Amino acid sequence: MSTSSEERIEQFYKMVEENIKNGMPYRDAIELAAVTIGGLITAKVSQAMAKYQEAIHPQSHLSQEEGNDALALLSMGVLWDNTYFNPVEPDVSTPLENTLAESIYFIMKYGREEDGLKKALEANSKCVGDVASRGNAIQRVLEKV
């Protein structure tokens, strides 16, 4: 019997929480959990990490845009939901997996800042999509830091 997306995502967050509890920095905790769970979880975390890097790189167009968090989520959504182009292989991710990636983006972007949890939740609230689910995921990780 295969594990559902929801079960894999819950397993991922439990592993992240355990890794942090054991003293691991949250970025390492996220990456280790993603690699351990594998599959689309690894792919979504990789996409979120890449988008986070683009959003903070001072020479990227994204980092210079007003409302760059919303644009980052939108650009990931365009890729995931196949709204504006046809990829070579269809994306088989679920909305839950997309929400996971969006949450990881906020965690990575704001987690190291003073009041990182508060800033991540504020940024999340300004973006469309499943704000509540993203907020819960952000809290699960950043409350442990």
The per-residue pLDDT of the chain, averaged, comes to: 88
Domain boundaries, the chain: 43-142
Mean pLDDT of the 84-94 span: 49
Given a contact cutoff of 8 angstroms between Cβ atoms, the answer to whether 108 and 137 are in contact is: no
Taking the model in full, what pTM does it have?
Answer: 0.87
Contacts of 25 (CB under 8 A, 6+ apart): none
Q: What is the pLDDT of residues 102-121, one digit of tens each?
A: 999 999 999 999 999 999 99
What pLDDT, on a 0 to 100 scale, did the predictor assign at position 77?
73
Does the pLDDT value for residue 11 go beyond 50?
yes
- Taking the CB of residue 96, how many other CB atoms lie within 10 A of it? 17
Q: What is the pLDDT of residues 55-66, one digit of tens each?
A: 999 999 999 999
